[in-house]
Amino acid sequence: MLPIDLTGKRALIAGVGDDGGFGFAIAKAMFQAGATVCVGTWPPAMGIFQTLLERGKIADSLLLPDGTSMVFERIYPVDAAYDSMDQVPAEVREHKRYRDRGDFTIAGLVASVRMDFGDQPLDIVVHSLANGPEVRTPLIDTSRRGYLEAISISAYSNLAFVREFGPLMRPGGSFLSLSYIAGQRAIPGYGGGMSSAKAALEADTRTLAHEAGRRFGVRVNTISAGPFASRAATAIGFVRTMINYTRINSPIMRDIDASDVGHTAAFLASPLATAITGSTVYVDNGYHSEGMAVIDPATFE
């Protein structure tokens, strides 16, 4: 037996705000492999997420195969649009969903983790964050502000995570982010600069793997997952069409399950993947390898 064993390791997964996305599935897979898990949650969603946990509304999702339930070590507020509090506009600081959260920036998250667990407490950092305020706008019509916000939150923040959390990582640590094939292929309707952000994320993964590998002794990879109907993905507006199209045109004709990504993430974070870094790992039933569509118009009615 060759198990994925993360016993004794601590993971920080940024971008968990409900039980329906890849971030939550990754957290669950890490738990099953023996890791302890902290999560970072967008401040406006944090209260709702904590309420769901406290009232048992997602108890079934927290249940593990052995009958136990996963319990997060910490839930931290984080808005990855800001490196430090001096960058946060007054109207954001004073907003009711932010003002009682303390330092919710990337610097604040780093400081909180260090204060809670010491100077080198992490083995795994997962960047499960993406946002493009104009994602439904064709790229050609995207504003400068919308484009730069998509890049900032969806790609630059991953770079900032590697730089700022690198010193907190134990030897052999693993950074992981989530991409999408729109960074490599044209996906009409996936706009607002999000395709550019995913392309940047994948390019940065290669360069960061080199730089962070030499500086911190850690690995950096990204998972390019097939489309999945998470709550966050509803912002795209045509996610069901994306899912149907991908299923029909994939070598393995099935929908992606969030656990597919979770299991791959656990493997990439484990000692079994010691020699894997700088890679974009596709978890899409092979869709990325196809060069010609299978025409089935009825599927998209």
Average pLDDT over residues 129-141: 94
Q: Read off the pLDDT of each residue in 252-279 and give the average, rounded to a whole number.
A: 96
254: alpha, beta or left? (left if phi > 0; alpha if psi -120 to 50):
beta
Of the given ranges (1-5, 119-123, 167-171), which has the lowest mean pLDDT? 1-5
Catalytic residue among 98, 190, 245, 287: 190
Active site residue 82: no
Question: Which of 180, 245, 282, 287 is the catalytic position?
Answer: 180
pLDDT at 228: 84
- How high is the pLDDT of residue 146? 97
In a domain, 3, yes or no: no
Burial class from Cβ neighbours inside 10 Å (0-12, 13-18, 19+) for residue 1 reads exposed
**Is there a contact between 181 and 243 (Cβ–Cβ < 8 Å)?**
no
What integer pLDDT is reported at residue 300 of this predicted model? 54
Residues of the domain holding 179: 10-300
The confidence score (pLDDT) of residue 24 equals 97
Residue 190 lies in a domain: yes
The whole-number average pLDDT for the span 165-192 is: 95
Number of domains, the chain? 1
**DSSP letter string over 63-130?**
B-TTS-B---S-EEE--TT-SSGGGS-HHHHTSTTTTTS---SHHHHHHHHHHHH-SS-EEEEEE---
- On the CB side of 54, CA atoms within 13 Å amount to 7
Q: Of residues 46 and 300, which shows the higher confidence score?
A: 46
pLDDT band of residue 235 (cuts 50, 70, 90) is low
Integer distance in angstroms from the first to the last C-alpha of the chain? 46
In CATH, what number is assigned to the domain containing residue 99? 3.40.50.720
When pLDDT is averaged across residues 75-100 and rounded to a whole number, the result is: 95
Least confident of 67-71, 146-150, 289-293: 289-293
Active site residue 287: no
- Check: pTM over 0.75? Answer yes or no: yes
Secondary structure in 3-state letters for 15-57: CCCCCCCHHHHHHHHHHHCCCEEEEEECHHHHHHHHHHHHCCC
In this model, does residue 237 exceed pLDDT 70? no
5 in a domain, yes or no?
Answer: no
Q: Which residue has the higher pLDDT, 242 or 13?
A: 13
d(CA 48, CA 97): 11
Q: Which pLDDT score, from 0 to 100, does residue 259 have?
A: 95
Residue 257 lies in a domain: yes
Statement: residue 46 has pLDDT above 90? yes
Q: Once rounded to an integer, what is the mean pLDDT over residues 69-73?
A: 95
User: What confidence category does residue 267 fall into, taking pLDDT thresholds of 50, 70 and 90?
Assistant: very high
Q: Is residue 132 part of a domain?
A: yes
Q: Which of 80, 284, 84 is nearest to 187 (CA)?
A: 284
Which residues are CB-contacts of 95 (< 8 A; sequence separation ≥ 6)? none
**Distance between CA atoms of residues 115 and 193, nearest Å:** 36
